Amino acid sequence: MRFSLVSLFFALAALAAARPSDAGYDCVTKTCAEYVGCGDNNKQCICNDPTHRYAMRQCIASGNCNNGQSAAQNRQAYNSYCGRN
């Protein structure tokens, strides 16, 4: 029993390590502040991932993006970047 649990643990760890990410960014665990102003290689993650899109919009709405920009500036940048009006 112990051997099979250990094997399962390592199999899951390997699977998690092999999980594709978007240029090293994890759409679920990265904070919104880390995504503001990212390059096009992260566009799929920023604009289309539901969990992250929600976090970004909450961040922008609160004005707490920690990037030196105002809420209005971040909102405009995000909307422009993601093709929203």
Domain extent listing, the chain: 24-85
pLDDT tens digit sequence for 31-40: 555 555 555 5
Phi and psi for 22 in degrees, rounded to 5?
-95, 95
Whole-angstrom Cα distance, residue 78 to residue 85?
Answer: 10
Cα–Cα dist 55/49, whole Å: 10
pLDDT digits (tens, 9 = 90+) for 38-70: 555 566 666 766 666 776 777 676 666 666 777
Mean of the per-residue pLDDT values for the chain? Answer: 59
Sole residue written with tokens 């199999």: 11
Query: Within 13 Å and on the Cβ side, how many CA atoms surround 17?
Result: 6
Query: Whole-prediction pTM value?
Result: 0.42
